[in-house]
Amino acid sequence: MKQIHNENSEELTLQIYDYAVDLFTKTGLFFEIPFIEFSNTLDKEQIIDIEKYFAVNHSGRESEIDEDSGNYSDLILKRYIAGFKKIKMKLTDSQIKTVVEGANAMDDLRLQWLFHRKDWTAGLMALLSEGSDPLYEVKLISHLRQISSLGDSEFRSKLKKNREINIDIIAEIFGEASETQLASFRKRLDVFIASIDRILATRPVEGEVI
């Protein structure tokens, strides 16, 4: 990411996105077995508590969406400004215009996404209560993997379009970024990398006695 500049922003943004998707997929697969093992330890009361937690979480998310029911492009712009601020890049008027134009072309899928997540969660809760089923593990793994393909074809098509627009926005922002912006971004990235290195340095080596 530190190598990003005006000429390679589109290519590198796509590479980073593909890497993130691959990492997300591998992480999900990695945690499948631990999750199944954990689910086998749950009793009925704990499953009910988990279900209540998700219900509260979904309700809170619905309230947030209701509160942000104004102009969707304004919300997207706020998120971009805040996101780039975290990496020490203040967007220029031209970059803000890029975000607004892209946001205006997006579909507001928040309520649909929440609906599909609630439906998926309901299915998960039902499965957790069927631990004695001989096919429990197979069914649970299948359900966990469905999280990446929620909704019908029309919803997924709109989701894909939004994703592509976001990639284009980010690529264009870096594509027209000034040297000052890029230098500030790289400096911030160095801070993140140093923090990660410090965390990793404190981890015990495999086989080491703590």
CA angle 197, 201, 205 (to 5 degrees): 135
pLDDT tens for the 210 residues of the chain, in order: 656 656 677 777 777 777 787 877 888 888 899 999 999 999 999 999 999 999 999 999 888 888 776 788 999 999 999 999 998 899 999 999 999 999 999 999 999 999 999 999 999 999 998 888 889 999 999 999 998 889 999 999 999 999 999 999 999 999 888 999 988 888 888 888 888 888 877 766 555 544
93-104 helix and 153-175 helix, angle to the nearest 10 degrees: 170
pLDDT at residue number 210: 47
> How crowded is residue 185: how many other Cβ atoms within 10 Å of its Cβ?
19
List the chain domain ranges. 9-201
Indicate whether this model's pTM tops 0.85: no
Q: Residue 194 and residue 105: Cα distance in Å, rounded?
A: 38
> Exposed, middle or buried, 44 (CB in 10 Å: 0-12/13-18/19+)?
exposed
Q: Which of 175, 180, 173, 187 lies closest to 5, judged by CA? A: 175
For residue 64 the two structure tokens come to 């947030």
Q: 114 Cβ partners below 8 Å, 6+ apart?
A: 58, 61, 62, 65
Q: Are 72 and 103 in contact (CB under 8 A)?
A: yes
Cα 197 off chain centre by? 23
178, two tokens: 């000034």
